[in-house]
Amino acid sequence: MQSSMEKSFPLHECHVNKVTIIINRTHAILHSIAILLLIHYRLSFFFQHPQNITIPTLPWLLIFVSELILSFAWFLQQACRWRPVYRTVFPERLAADDKLPAIDVFICTADPNKEPSVEVMNTVISAMALDYPPENLHVYISDDAGSDATLRCTKEAWNFAKYWVPFRRKYGLVTACPDVYFSSSENDNGDYKGSEFKAERKKMEEKYEVLKQRLRKIVEGHFPTNVAINNTRDHPSVIEVINKEEDEVKIPQLIYVSREKRPSHNHNFKAGALNVLLRVSAMISNSPYILALDCDMYCNDPTSARKAMCFYCDSQTPSLAFVQFPQTFRNISQDDIYDNQVRFAFKVHWYGFDGVGGPIISGSNFCIKREALLGSFNKQQDYMSLKRLFGPSNDFIKTLVEDYKPCFIKDGESSRMSLENANILASCSYENQTVWGSKVGFLYFSVAEDYFTGLNLHRKGWKSVYLNPERLQFLGTSTTNFNDSLIQWTRWTSGPVTVALSRFCPLIYGPLKMSLVQLLCYSELAFMPLLNCLSLWGFAVIPQLCLFNGIPLYPKVSDPNFNIFSIILVSSISKSLYEVVTTGEQFKVWRNEWRIWMMRSVTSYTYGCLDVILNKLGMKEATFLPTNKVTDDEQVKLYEMGVFDFRTATMFLAPLVTVILINIAAFVGAVVKALVVDDDGDQYWEKMFGQMFLTFFILISNFAVIEGMIIRRDKAKIPLSSTLWSVVFSMFILLIGSVILC
Over the stretch 153-192, which tens digit does the pLDDT of each residue have?
999 999 999 999 999 999 899 999 999 999 876 666 555 6
Residues 24 and 147 in one domain: no
pLDDT tens-digit readout, 313-330: 988 888 999 999 999 999
Q: Which of 287, 302, 331 represents a domain boundary (last residue)?
A: 287
Task: Please tell me whether residues 73 and 111 are part of one structural domain.
Answer: no
Q: What is the pLDDT of residue 520?
A: 95
SS3 227: helix
Please indicate, yes or no, if residue 370 is contained in any of the structural domains. no
- Asked if residue 587 is part of any domain, the answer here is yes
Residues 505, 643, single domain; the answer is yes
Please say which residue of 287, 308, 340 terminates a domain.
287
Sequential DSSP letters for 637-656: HHHHHT-----S-HHHHHHH
Work out the percent of the chain whose per-residue pLDDT is above 90.
75
Q: Taking the C-alpha atoms of 688, 694, 696 and 700 in order, what is their torsion angle to the nearest 10 degrees? A: 170
User: For position 402, what pLDDT does the model report?
Assistant: 66
- End-to-end Cα separation, the chain, in angstroms: 81
Among all residues, which ones are annotated catalytic? 144, 450
pLDDT of residue 698: 97
Is there a single domain that holds both residue 57 and residue 110?
Answer: no
**Which pLDDT belongs to residue 644?**
96
**CB burial of residue 186 (10 Å; 0-12, 13-18, 19+):** exposed
pLDDT value of position 351: 96
Q: State how beta strands 474-476 and 298-299 pair.
A: antiparallel
Whether residues 55 and 113 share a domain: the answer is no
| 525: in domain | yes
Asked whether residue 363 is assigned to any structural domain, the reply reads: no
Asked whether residue 657 carries a pLDDT value surpassing 70, the answer given is yes
Q: Is the pLDDT of residue 44 over 90?
A: yes
At residue 191, the pLDDT reads 56
CA distance 94 to 311: 10
**pLDDT for residue 229:** 45
Among candidate residues 375, 381, 351, 349, the one with its CA nearest the CA of residue 462: 375
Cβ contact 274:449 at 8 Å:
yes
Check whether 92 is labelled as a binding-site residue.
no
Q: Are residues 108 and 75 in the same domain?
A: no
In this prediction, residues 105-129 reach a mean pLDDT of: 93
* Residue 678 CA: distances (Å) to CA of 317, 671, 683, 694: 70, 10, 9, 21
What proportion of the chain, given as a percentage, has pLDDT over 70?
A: 92
Which pLDDT does position 110 carry in this prediction? 87
Q: Which structural domain, as residue segments, surrounds residue 551?
A: 18-82+501-741
The whole-angstrom separation of Cα 620 and Cα 71 is 32
Task: Give yes or no for residue 243 having a pLDDT over 90.
Answer: no
Mean pLDDT of 386-397: 91
* Residue 248 confidence (pLDDT): 64
Strand order in the sheet with 253-258: 238-241, 253-258, 137-143, 103-109, 289-294, 366-369, 320-324, 463-466
Has residue 702 been placed in a domain?
yes
Is 480 a member of any domain?
A: no
The pLDDT-based confidence of 91 (bands split at 50, 70, 90) is very high
| C-beta separation of 715 from 644 below 8 A | no
Enter the pTM of the model.
0.92
Amino acid at residue number 364: S
pLDDT at 679 over 80: no
Contact (Cβ atoms closer than 8 angstroms) between residue 294 and residue 475: no
62 with 202, same domain: the answer is no
Q: Helix or strand or coil: residue 108?
A: strand
Residues 58 and 136 in one domain: no
In this predicted structure, the answer to whether residue 8 has a pLDDT above a threshold of 70 is: no
What's the pLDDT score for residue 226?
43
Distance CA 106, CA 259 (A): 14
- pLDDT in the model for residue 186: 63
pLDDT at 246 over 80: no
pLDDT in the model for residue 712: 93
> Nearest to residue 299, comparing CAs of 435, 131, 136, 427?
131
Q: How many domains does the chain have?
A: 2
Q: Is 114 annotated as a binding residue?
A: yes
For residue 557, tell me if it sits in a domain: yes
Average pLDDT of span 528-546:
96
pLDDT (mean) for 41-60: 88
pLDDT of residue 558: 92
Q: Which residues contact 110 (CB under 8 A, 6 or more apart)?
A: 144, 145, 270, 273, 295, 626
Same domain, 592 and 716: yes
Residue type, 401: V
Residues 29 and 151 in one domain: no
Same domain, 217 and 69: no
pLDDT (mean) for 599-614: 95
Residue type, 130: L
* Residue 3's pLDDT band (cuts 50, 70, 90): very low
Domain boundary among 257, 287, 317: 287
pLDDT-derived band at 12, boundaries 50, 70, 90: very high
- Lateral strand order in the sheet of 328-329: 298-299, 474-476, 328-329
Per-residue pLDDT at 228:
46
Residues 177 and 250 in one domain: yes
Residue 607 host element (H or E): helix 604-616
Looking at per-residue pLDDT, the higher value among 51 and 314 belongs to: 314
418-432: pLDDT as tens digits: 778 888 999 999 999
Q: Is residue 245 part of a domain?
A: yes
User: Has 294 been labeled as part of a binding site?
Assistant: yes
pLDDT for position 193: 66
Please tell me the distance from the alpha carbon of residue 353 to that of residue 360, in angstroms, as a whole number.
Answer: 8
Average pLDDT, the chain: 90
pLDDT on residue 1: 39
Beta carbons of 252 and 176 less than 8 angstroms apart: no
